[in-house]
Amino acid sequence: MPVSDTFKLTVICFTLSLACNFQYGFSATYLNTPVDEFKRYLNTSLEKRGVAMTENTYNWIWNLIANIWFIGFFGGIWLGPFLNDKYGRKFGFIIFNGTNMIASLLRFLAILFYLPELLFIGRLVASISTAITYQSLIMFLQECSPTHLRGAMSFTSEISFGVCCLLGMFAGMDFIFGKNLKLLLGFAVVPSIVAFIVLFPMPETPKFLYIVKKDKKAATKSINFYHGKSADVSTVLHQIGLEAEKDLQSNSSVREILTNPYLRKALLLSCLALQNTLALSSLLLLSTDLLKHNNLDSGIAKWFSVGMTAAYAIGTIFGSPFVDKYGRRPMLLFFSTFNVIVLLFYVIFAAMESHISFIKYGCLLCFVIYGFNYGFGVGSIAWFLSSELVPQRHRSLMQSMTSAINTVILIILTFTILPLFSLIKAYVFLILYIIPSSFGIVILYVYLPETKGREIYQIVEELKSKKSRRVINAEEKFETEESDIN
Ligand SMILES: *[C@@H]1O[C@H](CO)[C@@H](O)[C@H](O)[C@H]1NC(C)=O
């Protein structure tokens, strides 16, 4: 593939990624840094109706607005496979970027007219829509890029998500839009409109056109658009055809995944890998609030929330070239363990902080290191692991099931973290994140296969065997030594 075509495809993939991830990243973070301003907004909204806002009312309204995101997301996850398989990847992407645009408008109106209900509805609509567009995006990235670039192009999603989170955090700082929620949520309407419009000229993915629509002419056009004019169209079509034949057997089902032992194992391993992403999802939403509880000045707390997110975004950019070099298994295990230790230090620092005041800066540092590690070796790998552990037929459903389970756990955690935090302080991290992650990492260490550079059928064989990774390692070593001797 000529360099100019690779460059063009990279630009296309970043455009697609940004079209989905602006809403995703912004929504994950815009409540974080301007937390005081939102409190004032809710107070004024209630006052205008003659209701006095107590700390208690504030807490549950705030919890509801923050967490409705995950509930809507959970609903959207199940709509995704249906829409994407029936109407194509582009249809759902465009329609739900449209509803995302409406959601952005609703949020803006909510601030203008002091109607927190609209903020709630806007957030709900945005979360359902984003769950669907995110799946469309992953399908687009996987299906429009040539095989040898598939991994690299899938990374554009994680990088753009990190950058948009950073943008959301930054926009919420006092000196930008943080003191003025009208500007903050008004500004977000503009990229939502752009995200809606840029999708129209993008053709449907070649795989969908050829396999499902059986439209060879349109598929050829699409390949020329994504792979460039010099693409060897007949070879690409032939390969897509091969994939289609293998896929004919029948559709995957939730029941099949739950009753088939090796699929169940893949599901469990994927969920355990995602277990390590939970703390960051909570922190992106709540870090300023949490750090303020550590007797930190709210200005410093904001800066460190931005710092953590910046470290995360930078981590994704630096981490992407290493994944294909060192493999998923060592990277995921090393950085997850590292992050558990970092969180443990956070708990220790937070406990000591009442005795030695400057130690609170240690708490801050922990979050920044955590963000970098996460971007470098945890986030992206954990999210695409599920699609590398199972054959094509089960891929999309397996992805939905793992993100659904992950979202349910996330809902429970984000609902409990703030009340528990007022009760037992930073020890909450011990119960909610450190202990569960530690158990998960041990199981992953024993059973997680390496997926880098291996064919799916080899990975499936390993999942089907009852042997632990250590036994397999020893056998592989033995085999290579034997072949060396021969
Ligand atoms: C709401 O605002 C009033 C003053 O307008 C203030 O007295 C009250 O403490 C505020 N409530 C909360 C929960 O901040």
Would you state the structure tokens that stand for residue 335, as one six-digit string?
């950085």
The proportion of the chain whose per-residue pLDDT surpasses 90, expressed as a percent, equals: 50
Secondary structure letter of residue 430 according to DSSP: I
Phi and psi dihedrals of 150, rounded to 5?
Answer: -60, -45
pLDDT score, position 484: 61
| Whether residue 10 has its Cβ less than 6 Å from ligand 1 | no
pLDDT tens-digit map of 243-255: 766 655 566 788 8
The answer to whether the CB of 328 falls within 8 A of the CB of 450 is: yes
Torsion angle of alpha carbons 247, 249, 253, 255, nearest 10°?
-140
pTM attached to this predicted model = 0.86
Mean pLDDT of 338-359: 88
Going from the Cα of 327 to the center of ligand 1, the distance in angstroms, rounded, reads 53
pLDDT score, position 480: 65
pLDDT score, position 196: 95
| Whether residue 55 has its Cβ less than 6 Å from ligand 1 | yes
| Whether residue 36 has its Cβ less than 6 Å from ligand 1 | no
| Whether residue 57 has its Cβ less than 6 Å from ligand 1 | no
Mean pLDDT of 353-364: 81
Ligand 1: which of 53, 54, 114, 292 to mutate, most ligand atoms within 8 Å of CB?
53
pLDDT score, position 459: 77
Quick one: which atom of ligand 1 is closest to the CA of 54?
13
Residue 114 CA to residue 109 CA, distance in Å, equals 8
- Nearest alpha carbon, ligand 1 atom 2: 43
Residue 477 has pLDDT above 80, yes or no: no
Whole-Å CA distances, 351 to 251, 290, 356: 52, 14, 10
Mean pLDDT of 133-149: 84
Going from the Cα of 54 to the center of ligand 1, the distance in angstroms, rounded, reads 7
Going from the Cα of 56 to the center of ligand 1, the distance in angstroms, rounded, reads 12
Quick one: which atom of ligand 1 is closest to the CA of 55?
13
Residue 49 CA to residue 54 CA, distance in Å, equals 14
DSSP 243-285: HHHHH-S----HHHHHHSHHHHHHHHHHHHHHHTTHHHHHHHH
Residue 351 has pLDDT above 60, yes or no: yes
- Nearest alpha carbon, ligand 1 atom 1: 43
The count of other CB atoms within 10 Å of the CB of residue 482 is 9
- Contacts (Cβ under 8 Å, ≥6 apart) of 339: 276, 279, 370, 373, 374, 378, 437
Higher pLDDT, 151 or 351: 351
Residue 65 CA to residue 31 CA, distance in Å, equals 9
| Whether residue 14 has its Cβ less than 6 Å from ligand 1 | no
- Contacts (Cβ under 8 Å, ≥6 apart) of 227: 1, 5, 9, 146, 236
Query: Can you count the helices (H) and strands (E) in the chain?
Result: 23, 0
Phi-psi region for residue 67, left (φ > 0), alpha (ψ -120 to 50) or beta?
alpha
Would you state the structure tokens that stand for residue 40, as one six-digit string?
């004032």
Quick one: which atom of ligand 1 is closest to the CA of 57?
13
Residue 289 CA to residue 309 CA, distance in Å, equals 15
Q: What is the rounded average pLDDT for all residues in the chain?
A: 88
Would you state the structure tokens that stand for residue 368, as one six-digit string?
């920044």
Quick one: which atom of ligand 1 is closest to the CA of 58?
13
Residue 308 CA to residue 356 CA, distance in Å, equals 23
Whole-Å CA distances, 413 to 4, 5, 449: 46, 44, 29
**Dihedral of alpha carbons 325, 327, 328, 334, sign:** negative
pLDDT tens-digit map of 80-120: 878 887 888 899 999 999 999 999 999 999 999 999 999 99
Ligand 1: which of 39, 43, 114 to mutate, most ligand atoms within 8 Å of CB?
43
Going from the Cα of 95 to the center of ligand 1, the distance in angstroms, rounded, reads 41
Going from the Cα of 412 to the center of ligand 1, the distance in angstroms, rounded, reads 29
| Whether residue 58 has its Cβ less than 6 Å from ligand 1 | yes
| Whether residue 52 has its Cβ less than 6 Å from ligand 1 | no
SS3 334: helix
Whole-Å CA distances, 190 to 22, 131, 187, 274, 410: 11, 21, 6, 32, 29
Going from the Cα of 47 to the center of ligand 1, the distance in angstroms, rounded, reads 9
Residue 119 CA to residue 106 CA, distance in Å, equals 7
Going from the Cα of 425 to the center of ligand 1, the distance in angstroms, rounded, reads 25
Would you state the structure tokens that stand for residue 35, as one six-digit string?
């937390």
Would you state the structure tokens that stand for residue 198, as one six-digit string?
């840029």
- Nearest alpha carbon, ligand 1 atom 4: 43
pLDDT tens-digit map of 218-242: 999 999 999 998 888 998 898 888 7
